[in-house]
Every structure is written in structure tokens, then in C-alpha cells.
Amino acid sequence: MSEADFQGRNVLVTGGSRGIGRACCERLARAGANVAVNYHGNREAAEETARRVIAAGAEAVTVQCNVADEDAVQTMVTQINEQLGPIDMLVNNAGVFEYVTPETTSPDHWRRTIDVNLTGTYLVTWAVKDQMIERNFGRIVNMSSISALRSRPYGIAYAASKAAVIAFTKSASVALVEHNIRMNAVAPGLIETEIIDDVDQATIDRIVGETPMKRIGQADEIADVVHFLLSEASRFMIGQCLVASGGRVMLP
């Protein structure tokens, strides 16, 4: 794959201000894409991501939006269209994670998690799909998790939301492929980002011990997988979920 294989393409990365989202923004900018960096609350972090995109030689805009808010999503897409142009590629990365016990899994926690991780993925996809259909081109990657593939008694809502993202990817990819829109998903394992800040060190050490590669993954390693799925190197793939977990989870 060329370092400029996305030249002239516009990509929206939700949750692009930090962690895996920021790594995706930087990786795709190096590949030539112009990047819309979505963020929910941390404007300063989003602007830092945008600076990195520009340093890589691409255009960047930052757009504030709660992806669980339908009206806000529509406004975000309109803003990107006006500032960058039509959206060619989408990375549905925005997500929330709370490490909670079964006893403290409340209806509010459940709704918040499902609204952002699952409904947000649907809302942003549906907000961009018509322009992709009109142009007969689209590439979409949805961020799932290995929590979708293993039992997670201390993350029930999160696991359910990420399993549903895989189901959404399978069904929506078949519905959209006739319009030259390819959709796939990624299921990362434990990645060194701020999302694990509330996880105690003993738990992290246990997870590393269960991982055949004996280490935590890095955000740029997931960004490389996202780049592959958006690129023409994966042109015969739709509806797939690629696991990147250091061997902690292996699919047949």
C-alpha cells in the first residue's frame, strides 16, 4: 500500500481526539486523506490531533458532536461537507467504557453505553451513507472489541454494545455493498489508551499474563488495521471483524 493511497479522500473519525481515534487520524493523514476529527468534550485534544494531521501534510477540521444525538450528527456531517467536501470514508471509533460490577450496572449506565457505542455507530453511518451511495463509493470501519467475543461480567453493557456493533457490521455491509460501500470492523484487545485509566494495575497485569504476546497493544497498531480495511488491499472483504489482541482471542 502506498503512503498516499488515500490522496484526495475525506475521512471522518469519530472519537478522534485521543487514543485509537487520534492514531487513526494520523495514520490516514499520512496515507493522504483529509481528516475530520470528531470529539465530544475535549476540544484541546481534538485540536492537537488536527495539528498532527496538518503536520502530516493533510487538511483537518475539528467537529464537536455527541454521536448519540441524531440532530447533532446531522449538523456535524453538514459542517464537514461544507469545510472538506463529501465524506468518502468513516471510522466509527467514538465509544464509552466503564468498568463496573454487575451490582452497579444501572439502567442509566446501560443506556449511556448503548447510546454511544451502538446507536452512535448507526446514526453516523446513516448520516453519511446517502452521499456515499450517490457517489458510488464508501469505506467504513466500525470499532468493536474482544469484549464482544468473551464474557465480561464487569462490563456487561460494554460487551453487549460491542457485540451488537459486529452484528450491525455484518448486516449493514451486505445492504450497502451494491453501492460500492465496504464495511468491516476491528476488535482490539487491551490497548494502552486513556480508556483503561480506571482499570486497576492488578487487572491489567492479569490480562497481560493471559496474552500470548505478553504485552499491551498500542494505538498505532490498531490504526494500521483500520488503514488496511479502508484501503483497496482489503477489496474482497465485507462484514468481517478483524481481531487484534496479541493472541488473547483467536477466531476460527
Catalytic machinery residues: 158
Whole-angstrom distance, CA of residue 94 vs CA of residue 117 = 7
CA 120 to chain centre: 11
Q: Phi-psi region for residue 142, left (φ > 0), alpha (ψ -120 to 50) or beta?
A: beta
Distances (CA, A) of 146 to 43, 68, 209, 215: 29, 22, 16, 16
Q: Which residues of 198-225 are buried (b: 16+ CB within 10 A; e: fewer)?
A: eeeeeeeeebeeebeeeebbebebbbbb
Residue 201: all three cell numbers together: 494495575
Reduced DSSP (H G I as helix, E B as strand, rest coil) percent helix, strand, coil of the chain, to 5: 50, 15, 35
CA 118 to chain centre: 11
Q: Tell me 217's DSSP state.
A: B
Whole-angstrom distance, CA of residue 211 vs CA of residue 219 = 17
Q: Side by side, which strands form the sheet with 34-39?
A: 60-64, 34-39, 10-13, 89-92, 138-143, 181-188, 241-244
Whole-angstrom distance, CA of residue 250 vs CA of residue 134 = 38
DSSP bridge pairs for 247: none
